[in-house]
Homo-oligomer: A and B are copies of this chain.
Amino acid sequence: MRPSQRRPDELRPLRFTRSFTRHAEGSVLIECGDTRVLCTASVENQVPPFLRGQGKGWITAEYGMLPRATNQRTAREAAKGKQSGRTLEIQRLIGRSLRAAVDLRALGERTITLDCDVLQADGGTRTASITGAWLALRDAIDQLLARGELAFDPIQTQIAAVSVGIVQGIPVLDLDYTEDSTAETDMNLVMDGNGRFIEVQGTAEGVAFSREELDALLALGTAGIAQLQTAQRAALAAE
């Protein structure tokens, strides 16, 4: 039995709050159990220098954690004067994953920045960020379409992400912090709306994993992501 009393293939309770804050074009609070991430999408009518004049847009992401989102207070990165390697790695992952959803040419010369700020952390913040950010992006694009600033929808597919891992020899879905910190293997999966992979990132934490274990984790994650995508669509329909 898992510490949270969940079955191995059971997601944590999931909740999306759209329009959580009012300034951003898209603003979604995603809650996966006790993990809460505020994902905002900000639209800007220009692109970074390396893309200027090519008629293409850009999607990028930034990730942060409030100092007391964690059990022990973590030092504020702004005060330390730099973002950690972990932060940079996560925001690169979020950016890549969301770019996979979008036809950048159809977006036109615009940048959409997805800010994923963790208000409370209990494992799985990077995958929650991706799943929430897709919804914020969807809302921001819908606003551009509604205002007539875009004629065609540049979003090509739905994106969601989940973590899977092996804990005490058992493959489990959607690890919370307690499980994450003792997992033998930890894997993050990002998939599109057709069940194809965008990212597969598996790491052995102390014990190498076999091909069979990898297969089990992929199956577990694929099923979990299907549920997350269903929930995303429900949240959009619930307007």
Contact = CB atoms under 8 A, between A and B. Distances in A.
Contact of A214 (B34, B83, B197, B210): B197
Interface in A20-58: 21-24, 27, 34, 36, 38, 40, 42, 44
A155 B34 CA distance: 31
A127 B200 CA distance: 17
A64 B78 contact: yes
- Copies of this protein in the assembly total 6
Interface residues of A, number: 64
B204 A199 contact: yes
A161 to B, nearest CB: 13
Interface stretch (A6-14, A113-121, A144-152, A225-233): A113-121
A133 to B, nearest CB: 12
A153 interface: no
25 contacts: A21-B36, A21-B68, A24-B68, A40-B66, A44-B73, A62-B67, A62-B76, A64-B78, A76-B78, A78-B78, A78-B82, A78-B83, A85-B85, A85-B91, A88-B88, A88-B89, A192-B208, A194-B208, A197-B204, A197-B209, A197-B210, A197-B211, A200-B201, A201-B201, A211-B218
